[in-house]
Structure 1
Amino acid sequence: MKNTFFILFLIVVLTRCDNEKLSHKETVTIYYKAFDSGDFNKLKGVIHDSITMINGDFVTPFDKDSFYEFYKWDSIFEPSYEVIDLTEENDNLIATISQKNIRNEFLKNNPLQFKVKISFASGKITKLEELDYIGVNWQEWNQEKDSLVNWIKVNHQNLDGFVNDMTRKGAIELYKGR
């Protein structure tokens, strides 16, 4: 009888814990910590079945499989993310993020800080829209980018144009076109 009561109690407690919804702030914190630690399973747990990333005029929709490809691409640059601030705005969250990685280091803007608007559906992240970059020296960024593009053009003509499509698909097409 004691064992039955204990088992029922344990089931109720575990079921209750599973049904607790994360706040939007907790969800975003898990998202960036999962990116930072390289834990795609945790990341997958807080994104919706489809997720859209918006950066200026570039709108990139993902399903979980294509988002995994993006995640693998991003991890090449050994990123480190820090959530600096989270502010709720209606059903969205405005996050200030600091991102360090070897790409930003090369472009002389490390860490890169930016604000992103995060939207949710059913408690999971559905959209990340970059709003503003903080303290970025775009002149230096463009000089470094242009020097890389010119170096590629001179030394690896077969890769010329790489900066126009930095997706996995673009890389495959560029490789096949060699």
Structure 2
Amino acid sequence: MRDLINYSFSKYFNILLLSFLTVIMLSCNGKNPNASSLDIAKKYYQALDKSNREVMSGLLEDTLYTVETDYNYKHAFTKEDYVNNWMVWDSLFNPTYTVLEIDTLNDQIKAIISKHDMRIQLLHEAPTVWTETMYIKDNKITRIERQNVTFNDSIWIKNRAELINWVNINHPELIGFLDGQNKSIGKKYLKAITLFNNSHQ
């Protein structure tokens, strides 16, 4: 009888131990501490291309620092501002992001990215291309540094000035379409581009 009790207890204990270890393993897998930085970066660019704000929200740290090294410009986005303002603004122009190259180097992501949309077509007359260095900590993107590869400042400035002047004369109600990056301002910008293009056909 004692042997039977000991056997039952041992079996029950082993089942409990196995269940406990299984829960621990699943919990660790859920946190995914060894998630590939390269996979995270690829998901980021896919989310940009598809304007998928839900996916993007899960990839970013609470604060995202972006750096334009050509102009020594640095900006700190809150996750909410980046996802719910900048991404919405960006999506209005129907962008296409293409990853030309991507790899890891010294725990950083190095990529070459091309972008084209209605705004870029008007102002730059061709896709823009840049190199990007992405920093990831604890599976969250914390910082992105960009440097231009293909970007013609003179064409961009000339075409932007022409658009601004045309809007000031023909559609003053759209003045301020460059004053921010959110949905309402983006709609003004999109309307300005559409009206300008229609008038120059």
Tell me the TM-score normalized by structure 1. Answer: 0.77
> Of the two, which has the highest radius of gyration?
2
Which residue of 92, 96, 102 maps to 1:80? 96
Cα displacement string for residues 122-172 of structure 1 (whole angstroms, at most 9, x for unaligned residues):
2211111211232x3333222221210111222234544543x3233994x
Residue 35 of structure 1 aligns with which residue? 48
> Residue type matched to 1:67 in 2?
Y
Matches within 5 A, 1:1-178: 8=19, 14-20=26-32, 21-55=34-68, 56-68=71-83, 69-134=85-150, 136-160=151-175, 162-163=177-178, 165-168=179-182, 171=185
Tell me the TM-score normalized by structure 2. Answer: 0.69
Where does structure 2 lack aligned partners over 5 or more consecutive residues? Answer: 1-10, 189-201
Asked whether the 8 Å contact 1:104–1:111 carries over to 2, the reply is yes
DSSP 3-state at the match of 1:107: helix
Where does structure 1 lack aligned partners over 5 or more consecutive residues? Answer: none
DSSP 3-state at the match of 1:78: coil
Please give the alpha-carbon distance, in whole angstroms, between the structure 2 residues aligned to 1:57 and 1:159: 30
Asked whether the 8 Å contact 1:109–1:137 carries over to 2, the reply is no
- The alpha carbon displacement at 1:88 in A equals 2.7
Please give the alpha-carbon distance, in whole angstroms, between the structure 2 residues aligned to 1:151 and 1:81: 29
Asked whether the 8 Å contact 2:131–2:147 carries over to 1, the reply is yes
* Aligned-pair identity (%): 25
Cα displacement string for residues 28-84 of structure 1 (whole angstroms, at most 9, x for unaligned residues):
100010121232111111111111222224322111211121111111111121211
Cα displacement string for residues 76-101 of structure 1 (whole angstroms, at most 9, x for unaligned residues):
11112121112333232221111121
Runs of 4+ in 1 over 6 A off after TM superposition: none
Asked whether the 8 Å contact 2:89–2:183 carries over to 1, the reply is no
Please give the alpha-carbon distance, in whole angstroms, between the structure 2 residues aligned to 1:62 and 1:141: 25
CA RMSD of aligned residues (A): 3.0
Aligned residues: 168
